[in-house]
Chain A
Protein backbone atom coordinates (compact mmCIF):
# COMPACT_ATOMS: atom_id res chain seq x y z
CA UNK A 1 0.00 0.00 0.00
CA UNK A 2 1.11 3.46 -0.57
CA UNK A 3 2.07 5.66 2.35
CA UNK A 4 1.39 9.32 2.90
CA UNK A 5 4.82 10.88 3.24
CA UNK A 6 7.25 11.86 0.52
CA UNK A 7 7.86 8.44 -0.85
CA UNK A 8 9.59 7.06 -3.85
CA UNK A 9 7.19 4.75 -5.62
CA UNK A 10 8.95 1.71 -6.95
CA UNK A 11 8.37 0.77 -10.56
CA UNK A 12 5.53 -1.68 -11.12
CA UNK A 13 5.90 -5.13 -12.53
CA UNK A 14 5.30 -3.96 -16.02
CA UNK A 15 8.08 -1.51 -15.79
CA UNK A 16 5.94 1.51 -15.56
CA UNK A 17 7.44 4.32 -13.57
CA UNK A 18 5.36 7.36 -12.91
CA UNK A 19 7.40 10.10 -11.30
CA UNK A 20 5.57 10.62 -8.08
CA UNK A 21 6.20 14.22 -7.33
CA UNK A 22 2.82 14.69 -5.82
CA UNK A 23 3.88 13.09 -2.54
CA UNK A 24 6.11 16.08 -2.07
CA UNK A 25 3.30 18.44 -2.97
CA UNK A 26 2.36 19.45 0.53
CA UNK A 27 6.01 20.23 1.16
CA UNK A 28 6.34 22.08 -2.14
CA UNK A 29 3.24 24.11 -1.44
CA UNK A 30 4.73 25.01 1.86
CA UNK A 31 7.95 26.26 0.23
CA UNK A 32 6.23 28.29 -2.42
CA UNK A 33 3.73 29.68 0.01
CA UNK A 34 6.43 30.87 2.35
CA UNK A 35 7.92 32.76 -0.52
CA UNK A 36 4.64 34.38 -1.45
CA UNK A 37 3.66 35.07 2.10
CA UNK A 38 0.54 33.02 1.66
CA UNK A 39 0.44 30.58 4.45
CA UNK A 40 -3.21 30.06 4.95
CA UNK A 41 -4.45 27.91 2.14
CA UNK A 42 -2.76 24.95 0.58
CA UNK A 43 -2.92 25.42 -3.12
CA UNK A 44 -2.99 21.84 -4.27
CA UNK A 45 -5.42 19.07 -3.72
CA UNK A 46 -3.78 15.99 -4.99
CA UNK A 47 -5.03 12.81 -6.49
CA UNK A 48 -2.01 10.53 -6.62
CA UNK A 49 -1.20 9.52 -10.13
CA UNK A 50 -0.35 5.98 -9.29
CA UNK A 51 -3.96 5.29 -8.42
CA UNK A 52 -4.61 5.46 -12.08
CA UNK A 53 -1.62 3.23 -12.45
CA UNK A 54 -3.27 0.63 -10.21
CA UNK A 55 -6.42 0.81 -12.24
CA UNK A 56 -4.64 0.18 -15.45
CA UNK A 57 -2.79 -2.74 -14.03
CA UNK A 58 -5.74 -4.32 -12.33
CA UNK A 59 -7.81 -3.84 -15.41
CA UNK A 60 -5.49 -5.58 -17.70
CA UNK A 61 -2.45 -7.34 -16.46
CA UNK A 62 -1.59 -8.65 -19.85
CA UNK A 63 -0.86 -5.20 -21.17
CA UNK A 64 2.80 -4.44 -21.37
CA UNK A 65 2.78 -0.71 -21.35
CA UNK A 66 1.19 2.21 -19.55
CA UNK A 67 -1.23 4.49 -21.22
CA UNK A 68 -4.94 4.35 -21.37
CA UNK A 69 -6.12 1.32 -23.25
CA UNK A 70 -9.18 2.50 -25.04
CA UNK A 71 -10.98 -0.80 -24.85
CA UNK A 72 -10.84 -0.52 -21.11
CA UNK A 73 -11.79 3.10 -20.81
CA UNK A 74 -12.60 3.56 -17.15
CA UNK A 75 -15.73 5.53 -17.43
CA UNK A 76 -17.24 3.12 -19.85
CA UNK A 77 -16.25 0.11 -17.76
CA UNK A 78 -17.64 1.39 -14.44
CA UNK A 79 -21.13 1.76 -15.83
CA UNK A 80 -21.10 -1.90 -16.92
CA UNK A 81 -19.33 -3.29 -13.85
CA UNK A 82 -20.73 -2.38 -10.42
CA UNK A 83 -17.77 -3.84 -8.57
CA UNK A 84 -15.62 -1.40 -10.48
CA UNK A 85 -17.73 1.33 -8.93
CA UNK A 86 -17.04 -0.10 -5.51
CA UNK A 87 -13.36 -0.24 -6.15
CA UNK A 88 -13.44 3.30 -7.49
CA UNK A 89 -15.19 4.52 -4.36
CA UNK A 90 -12.72 2.69 -2.15
CA UNK A 91 -9.85 4.20 -3.99
CA UNK A 92 -11.38 7.63 -3.69
CA UNK A 93 -11.82 7.16 0.03
CA UNK A 94 -8.23 6.07 0.26
CA UNK A 95 -7.08 9.08 -1.73
CA UNK A 96 -9.12 11.38 0.47
CA UNK A 97 -7.68 9.80 3.61
CA UNK A 98 -4.15 10.23 2.38
CA UNK A 99 -4.90 13.77 1.35
CA UNK A 100 -6.16 14.54 4.85
CA UNK A 101 -3.06 13.02 6.42
CA UNK A 102 -0.79 14.99 4.15
CA UNK A 103 -2.70 18.15 4.93
CA UNK A 104 -2.30 17.47 8.63
CA UNK A 105 1.45 17.03 8.20
CA UNK A 106 1.60 20.26 6.19
CA UNK A 107 -0.30 22.21 8.82
CA UNK A 108 1.99 20.88 11.52
CA UNK A 109 4.97 22.05 9.50
CA UNK A 110 3.36 25.47 9.19
CA UNK A 111 2.78 25.68 12.93
CA UNK A 112 6.37 24.79 13.69
CA UNK A 113 7.69 27.33 11.23
CA UNK A 114 5.41 30.00 12.59
CA UNK A 115 6.70 29.43 16.10
CA UNK A 116 10.26 29.46 14.82
CA UNK A 117 9.69 32.78 13.07
CA UNK A 118 8.20 34.36 16.18
CA UNK A 119 11.21 33.16 18.12
CA UNK A 120 13.64 34.59 15.55
CA UNK A 121 11.81 37.87 15.60
CA UNK A 122 12.10 38.09 19.35
CA UNK A 123 15.80 37.33 19.14
CA UNK A 124 16.16 40.06 16.57
CA UNK A 125 14.42 42.51 18.85
CA UNK A 126 16.60 41.50 21.75
CA UNK A 127 19.74 41.89 19.66
CA UNK A 128 18.64 45.37 18.65
CA UNK A 129 17.97 46.30 22.25
CA UNK A 130 21.49 45.28 23.14
CA UNK A 131 22.78 47.58 20.51
CA UNK A 132 23.77 45.38 17.61
CA UNK A 133 22.98 47.11 14.39
CA UNK A 134 20.62 44.70 12.73
CA UNK A 135 19.24 45.69 9.38
CA UNK A 136 15.54 45.14 9.22
CA UNK A 137 14.64 43.37 6.04
CA UNK A 138 11.17 42.85 4.73
CA UNK A 139 10.75 39.38 6.27
CA UNK A 140 8.95 40.28 9.46
CA UNK A 141 6.72 42.69 7.64
CA UNK A 142 5.33 40.49 4.90
CA UNK A 143 4.58 37.60 7.21
CA UNK A 144 2.66 39.93 9.45
CA UNK A 145 3.60 38.32 12.75
CA UNK A 146 4.71 41.42 14.54
CA UNK A 147 1.86 43.83 15.18
CA UNK A 148 4.35 46.39 16.43
CA UNK A 149 6.23 46.54 13.14
CA UNK A 150 5.34 49.83 11.54
CA UNK A 151 5.51 49.89 7.73
CA UNK A 152 6.74 53.50 7.82
CA UNK A 153 9.56 52.49 10.11
CA UNK A 154 10.39 49.35 8.14
CA UNK A 155 10.62 51.53 5.03
CA UNK A 156 12.80 54.04 6.84
CA UNK A 157 15.22 51.36 8.06
CA UNK A 158 15.60 50.02 4.56
CA UNK A 159 16.13 53.51 3.13
CA UNK A 160 18.62 54.28 5.86
CA UNK A 161 20.62 51.18 4.94
CA UNK A 162 20.86 52.50 1.39
CA UNK A 163 21.69 55.95 2.69
CA UNK A 164 24.68 54.60 4.63
CA UNK A 165 25.92 52.69 1.58
CA UNK A 166 25.72 55.83 -0.55
CA UNK A 167 27.40 57.80 2.25
CA UNK A 168 30.32 55.37 2.29
CA UNK A 169 30.65 55.64 -1.46
CA UNK A 170 30.71 59.44 -1.31
CA UNK A 171 33.32 59.44 1.46
CA UNK A 172 35.53 57.20 -0.66
CA UNK A 173 35.16 59.49 -3.61
CA UNK A 174 35.98 62.58 -1.56
CA UNK A 175 39.07 60.90 -0.18
CA UNK A 176 40.26 59.94 -3.65
CA UNK A 177 39.77 63.36 -5.23
CA UNK A 178 41.30 65.25 -2.33
CA UNK A 179 44.47 63.20 -2.61
CA UNK A 180 44.61 63.73 -6.32
CA UNK A 181 43.84 66.68 -8.53
CA UNK A 182 40.39 67.95 -9.20
CA UNK A 183 39.16 71.24 -10.52
CA UNK A 184 37.02 73.45 -8.35
CA UNK A 185 33.85 73.06 -10.40
CA UNK A 186 33.85 69.29 -10.06
CA UNK A 187 34.77 69.50 -6.39
CA UNK A 188 31.93 71.95 -5.82
CA UNK A 189 29.55 69.45 -7.36
CA UNK A 190 30.82 66.69 -5.07
CA UNK A 191 30.43 68.90 -2.03
CA UNK A 192 26.91 69.91 -3.00
CA UNK A 193 25.96 66.26 -3.54
CA UNK A 194 27.30 65.36 -0.11
CA UNK A 195 25.39 68.21 1.52
CA UNK A 196 22.17 67.23 -0.24
CA UNK A 197 22.70 63.68 0.97
CA UNK A 198 22.60 64.86 4.59
CA UNK A 199 19.51 66.96 3.89
CA UNK A 200 17.91 63.89 2.36
CA UNK A 201 18.41 62.07 5.65
CA UNK A 202 16.62 64.83 7.56
CA UNK A 203 13.67 64.54 5.20
CA UNK A 204 13.57 60.77 5.71
CA UNK A 205 13.68 61.25 9.47
CA UNK A 206 10.82 63.73 9.34
CA UNK A 207 8.62 61.18 7.58
CA UNK A 208 9.69 58.45 10.00
CA UNK A 209 8.97 60.71 12.98
CA UNK A 210 5.38 61.02 11.82
CA UNK A 211 5.18 57.21 11.67
CA UNK A 212 6.78 56.59 15.07
CA UNK A 213 8.50 59.45 16.86
CA UNK A 214 9.75 57.22 19.68
CA UNK A 215 11.63 55.13 17.17
CA UNK A 216 13.45 58.16 15.78
CA UNK A 217 14.08 59.53 19.28
CA UNK A 218 15.55 56.23 20.44
CA UNK A 219 18.10 56.16 17.63
CA UNK A 220 17.52 52.41 17.28
CA UNK A 221 18.28 52.74 13.59
CA UNK A 222 21.82 53.85 14.41
CA UNK A 223 24.67 51.78 15.79
CA UNK A 224 25.28 51.62 19.52
CA UNK A 225 28.26 53.99 19.67
CA UNK A 226 26.36 56.58 17.65
CA UNK A 227 23.48 56.22 20.07
CA UNK A 228 25.76 57.04 22.97
CA UNK A 229 26.06 60.56 21.59
CA UNK A 230 22.38 60.88 20.74
CA UNK A 231 20.65 64.22 21.15
CA UNK A 232 16.99 64.48 20.14
CA UNK A 233 17.17 61.72 17.56
CA UNK A 234 20.58 62.49 16.01
CA UNK A 235 24.01 64.00 16.42
CA UNK A 236 24.62 67.21 18.35
CA UNK A 237 25.20 70.18 16.04
CA UNK A 238 27.90 71.42 18.42
CA UNK A 239 29.62 68.01 18.14
CA UNK A 240 29.64 68.47 14.40
CA UNK A 241 31.60 71.69 14.76
CA UNK A 242 33.98 70.10 17.28
CA UNK A 243 34.77 67.32 14.79
CA UNK A 244 35.22 69.61 11.79
CA UNK A 245 37.12 72.60 13.08
CA UNK A 246 40.54 71.01 13.84
CA UNK A 247 40.81 70.11 10.16
CA UNK A 248 41.06 73.65 8.87
CA UNK A 249 44.59 74.86 9.31
CA UNK A 250 44.37 78.16 7.47
CA UNK A 251 41.35 80.33 8.07
CA UNK A 252 41.01 83.99 7.20
CA UNK A 253 40.20 86.46 9.96
CA UNK A 254 36.67 86.76 8.70
CA UNK A 255 36.33 82.99 8.71
CA UNK A 256 37.64 82.76 12.26
CA UNK A 257 35.11 85.36 13.37
CA UNK A 258 32.26 83.62 11.53
CA UNK A 259 33.21 80.25 12.97
CA UNK A 260 33.32 81.69 16.49
CA UNK A 261 29.87 83.20 16.05
CA UNK A 262 28.52 79.98 14.63
CA UNK A 263 29.87 77.93 17.51
CA UNK A 264 28.28 80.24 20.03
CA UNK A 265 24.90 80.55 18.34
CA UNK A 266 24.79 76.80 17.67
CA UNK A 267 25.45 76.08 21.33
CA UNK A 268 22.79 78.57 22.44
CA UNK A 269 20.19 77.14 20.08
CA UNK A 270 21.05 73.63 21.22
CA UNK A 271 20.74 74.61 24.89
CA UNK A 272 17.38 76.24 24.24
CA UNK A 273 16.03 73.11 22.58
CA UNK A 274 17.45 70.94 25.37
CA UNK A 275 15.61 72.99 27.97
CA UNK A 276 12.44 72.84 25.93
CA UNK A 277 12.77 69.04 25.85
CA UNK A 278 13.29 68.93 29.59
CA UNK A 279 10.12 70.91 30.07
CA UNK A 280 8.29 68.49 27.83
CA UNK A 281 9.57 65.58 29.91
CA UNK A 282 8.45 67.25 33.14
CA UNK A 283 4.98 68.07 31.86
CA UNK A 284 4.60 64.58 30.42
CA UNK A 285 5.68 62.98 33.70
CA UNK A 286 3.25 65.18 35.64
CA UNK A 287 0.54 64.28 33.21
CA UNK A 288 1.11 60.53 33.45
CA UNK A 289 1.48 60.62 37.24
CA UNK A 290 -1.63 62.81 37.65
CA UNK A 291 -4.70 61.82 39.58
CA UNK A 292 -4.68 58.81 41.85
CA UNK A 293 -1.93 56.27 41.39
CA UNK A 294 -2.67 52.75 42.49
CA UNK A 295 -6.35 52.84 41.67
CA UNK A 296 -5.90 50.95 38.43
CA UNK A 297 -7.54 53.52 36.21
CA UNK A 298 -5.44 55.64 33.89
CA UNK A 299 -7.32 56.35 30.70
CA UNK A 300 -7.64 60.13 31.18
CA UNK A 301 -3.96 60.42 32.06
CA UNK A 302 -2.91 58.38 29.05
CA UNK A 303 -5.16 60.37 26.73
CA UNK A 304 -3.87 63.70 27.93
CA UNK A 305 -0.28 62.42 27.64
CA UNK A 306 -1.02 61.39 24.04
CA UNK A 307 -1.89 65.01 23.24
CA UNK A 308 1.36 66.24 24.69
CA UNK A 309 3.41 63.67 22.81
CA UNK A 310 2.53 65.32 19.52
CA UNK A 311 5.01 68.02 20.54
CA UNK A 312 7.81 65.45 20.37
CA UNK A 313 7.53 65.32 16.60
CA UNK A 314 8.07 69.10 16.47
CA UNK A 315 11.18 68.77 18.60
CA UNK A 316 12.70 66.10 16.39
CA UNK A 317 12.01 68.27 13.34
CA UNK A 318 13.47 71.31 15.07
CA UNK A 319 16.62 69.41 16.06
CA UNK A 320 17.10 68.26 12.46
CA UNK A 321 16.51 71.83 11.30
CA UNK A 322 19.33 72.91 13.60
CA UNK A 323 21.63 70.23 12.12
CA UNK A 324 20.65 71.35 8.65
CA UNK A 325 21.37 75.00 9.39
CA UNK A 326 24.71 74.23 11.06
CA UNK A 327 25.85 72.31 7.97
CA UNK A 328 24.54 75.07 5.73
CA UNK A 329 26.42 77.77 7.63
CA UNK A 330 29.68 75.81 7.60
CA UNK A 331 29.29 75.45 3.85
CA UNK A 332 28.80 79.21 3.56
CA UNK A 333 31.82 80.08 5.70
CA UNK A 334 34.31 77.63 4.15
CA UNK A 335 35.92 77.48 0.72
CA UNK A 336 34.97 74.56 -1.52
CA UNK A 337 38.15 72.67 -0.75
CA UNK A 338 37.78 73.26 2.97
CA UNK A 339 34.16 72.13 2.82
CA UNK A 340 35.21 68.95 1.01
CA UNK A 341 37.81 68.20 3.66
CA UNK A 342 35.25 68.96 6.35
CA UNK A 343 32.68 66.59 4.85
CA UNK A 344 35.31 63.88 4.54
CA UNK A 345 36.27 64.34 8.18
CA UNK A 346 32.65 64.25 9.30
CA UNK A 347 31.81 61.21 7.21
CA UNK A 348 34.81 59.32 8.44
CA UNK A 349 33.98 60.23 12.03
CA UNK A 350 30.63 58.48 11.72
CA UNK A 351 32.25 55.54 9.95
CA UNK A 352 34.64 55.16 12.88
CA UNK A 353 31.75 55.25 15.34
CA UNK A 354 30.03 52.50 13.38
CA UNK A 355 33.22 50.45 13.33
CA UNK A 356 33.54 50.98 17.07
CA UNK A 357 30.02 49.62 17.53
CA UNK A 358 30.80 46.42 15.62
CA UNK A 359 34.10 45.90 17.39
CA UNK A 360 32.46 46.36 20.74
CA UNK A 361 29.64 43.99 19.86
CA UNK A 362 32.09 41.34 18.69
CA UNK A 363 34.17 41.78 21.82
CA UNK A 364 31.09 40.97 23.88
CA UNK A 365 30.52 37.73 22.04
CA UNK A 366 34.02 36.36 22.49
CA UNK A 367 34.21 33.56 25.06
CA UNK A 368 36.11 34.57 28.19
Chain B
Protein backbone atom coordinates (compact mmCIF):
# COMPACT_ATOMS: atom_id res chain seq x y z
CA UNK B 1 0.00 0.00 0.00
CA UNK B 2 1.33 3.38 -1.00
CA UNK B 3 0.80 5.03 2.33
CA UNK B 4 2.78 2.32 4.11
CA UNK B 5 5.60 2.56 1.54
CA UNK B 6 5.67 6.30 2.00
CA UNK B 7 5.60 6.09 5.79
CA UNK B 8 8.32 3.45 5.86
CA UNK B 9 10.75 5.65 3.95
CA UNK B 10 10.22 8.77 6.01
CA UNK B 11 13.33 8.10 7.99
CA UNK B 12 16.25 5.66 8.14
CA UNK B 13 14.63 3.58 10.84
CA UNK B 14 10.83 3.42 10.97
CA UNK B 15 8.79 1.41 13.46
CA UNK B 16 5.07 0.76 13.03
CA UNK B 17 3.60 0.30 16.47
CA UNK B 18 0.47 0.75 18.56
CA UNK B 19 0.24 2.92 21.65
CA UNK B 20 -0.84 -0.13 23.68
CA UNK B 21 1.87 -2.45 22.34
CA UNK B 22 4.64 -2.92 24.87
CA UNK B 23 6.75 -5.16 22.63
CA UNK B 24 6.87 -2.33 20.09
CA UNK B 25 8.07 -0.13 22.92
CA UNK B 26 10.82 -2.67 23.72
CA UNK B 27 11.99 -2.58 20.09
CA UNK B 28 11.97 1.20 20.20
CA UNK B 29 14.12 1.18 23.35
CA UNK B 30 16.60 -1.17 21.67
CA UNK B 31 17.13 1.12 18.69
CA UNK B 32 17.50 4.11 20.99
CA UNK B 33 20.11 2.17 22.91
CA UNK B 34 22.01 1.67 19.66
CA UNK B 35 22.12 5.40 19.08
CA UNK B 36 19.29 5.55 16.56
CA UNK B 37 16.25 7.75 16.83
CA UNK B 38 13.55 5.84 14.96
CA UNK B 39 10.35 7.31 13.54
CA UNK B 40 7.41 5.76 15.37
CA UNK B 41 4.03 5.43 13.65
CA UNK B 42 1.33 4.56 16.17
CA UNK B 43 -1.15 3.12 13.71
CA UNK B 44 -3.95 2.83 16.26
CA UNK B 45 -4.04 6.63 16.20
CA UNK B 46 -4.30 6.64 12.41
CA UNK B 47 -7.80 6.72 10.87
CA UNK B 48 -6.69 4.12 8.29
CA UNK B 49 -5.44 1.72 10.97
CA UNK B 50 -7.15 -1.39 9.50
CA UNK B 51 -5.76 -0.79 5.99
CA UNK B 52 -2.25 -0.22 7.34
CA UNK B 53 -2.50 -3.44 9.34
CA UNK B 54 -3.58 -5.39 6.27
CA UNK B 55 -0.81 -3.87 4.17
CA UNK B 56 1.82 -4.78 6.75
CA UNK B 57 0.53 -8.36 6.98
CA UNK B 58 0.60 -8.60 3.17
CA UNK B 59 4.23 -7.51 3.19
CA UNK B 60 4.99 -10.61 5.21
CA UNK B 61 4.60 -9.66 8.87
CA UNK B 62 2.97 -12.34 11.00
CA UNK B 63 1.79 -9.60 13.33
CA UNK B 64 1.12 -6.04 12.16
CA UNK B 65 3.11 -4.49 15.03
CA UNK B 66 5.90 -3.99 15.67
CA UNK B 67 7.03 -3.72 12.05
CA UNK B 68 10.56 -2.41 11.55
CA UNK B 69 11.81 -0.82 8.34
CA UNK B 70 15.46 0.12 7.86
CA UNK B 71 16.35 2.18 4.81
CA UNK B 72 12.81 1.74 3.53
CA UNK B 73 13.08 -2.06 3.54
CA UNK B 74 11.11 -4.35 5.85
CA UNK B 75 13.39 -6.03 8.39
CA UNK B 76 10.67 -7.82 10.32
CA UNK B 77 9.15 -7.96 13.77
CA UNK B 78 10.65 -8.38 17.26
CA UNK B 79 11.99 -11.87 16.53
CA UNK B 80 13.94 -10.80 13.47
CA UNK B 81 15.32 -7.68 15.13
CA UNK B 82 16.52 -9.67 18.17
CA UNK B 83 18.08 -12.43 16.05
CA UNK B 84 19.87 -9.90 13.88
CA UNK B 85 21.16 -8.00 16.85
CA UNK B 86 22.57 -11.10 18.55
CA UNK B 87 24.24 -12.22 15.35
CA UNK B 88 25.81 -8.74 15.05
CA UNK B 89 24.04 -7.93 11.79
CA UNK B 90 21.78 -5.16 13.11
CA UNK B 91 24.43 -2.60 14.03
CA UNK B 92 26.00 -2.44 10.52
CA UNK B 93 22.51 -1.96 9.09
CA UNK B 94 21.70 1.07 11.23
CA UNK B 95 25.16 2.60 11.04
CA UNK B 96 24.21 5.13 8.31
CA UNK B 97 21.35 6.36 10.45
CA UNK B 98 23.07 6.99 13.75
CA UNK B 99 22.35 10.30 15.43
Contact = CB atoms under 8 A, between A and B. Distances in A.
Interface of A: 258, 261-262, 265-266, 268-269, 271-273, 275-277, 279-280, 283, 308, 311, 314-315, 318, 321-322, 325-326, 328-329, 332
Nearest to A324: B83
A258 B27 CA distance: 23
A329 B86 contact: yes
Contacts of A261: 88
B22 A283 contact: yes
A273 B23 CA distance: 7
Nearest to A307: B20
A347 B91 CA distance: 32
B87 A279 contact: no
B78 A318 contact: yes
Contacts of A322: 82, 86
A282 to B, nearest CB: 9
Given A272-B30, A273-B26, A276-B29, A325 B20 contact: no
Given A272-B33, A308-B20, A325 B26 contact: no
Interface of B: 20-23, 25-27, 29-30, 33-34, 78-79, 82-83, 85-88, 90-91
A272 B22 CA distance: 10
B29 A325 contact: no
Given A272-B29, A279-B22, A279-B25, A262 B86 contact: yes
A268 B85 contact: yes
A272 to B, nearest CB: 4
Contacts of A268: 30, 33-34, 85
Contacts of A308: 20
Contact of B25 (A258, A262, A269, A276): A276
Nearest to B31: A272
A318 B22 contact: no
Contact of A271 (B33, B82, B86, B90): B33
Contacts of B79: 318, 321
A258 to B, nearest CB: 8
B26 A326 contact: no
A329 to B, nearest CB: 5
Contacts of B86: 262, 265-266, 269, 322, 325-326, 328-329
A276 B23 contact: yes
29 contacts: A258-B88, A265-B85, A265-B88, A265-B90, A265-B91, A268-B33, A269-B85, A269-B86, A272-B26, A272-B29, A272-B30, A272-B33, A275-B25, A276-B26, A277-B22, A277-B26, A283-B20, A283-B22, A311-B23, A315-B22, A318-B82, A321-B78, A321-B82, A321-B83, A322-B86, A325-B83, A329-B86, A329-B87, A332-B87
Contacts of B20: 283, 308
Contacts of B90: 265
Given A272-B27, A277-B26, 9 more contacts: A265-B86, A275-B26, A276-B25, A276-B26, A280-B22, A311-B21, A321-B78, A325-B83, A329-B87
Q: For A262, A273, A328, A332, which residue has the most chain B Cβ atoms within 10 angstroms?
A: A273
A191 B21 CA distance: 38
A275 B87 CA distance: 22
B66 to A, nearest CB: 10
A264 to B, nearest CB: 9
B26 to A, nearest CB: 3
A277 B86 CA distance: 20
A209 to B, nearest CB: 14
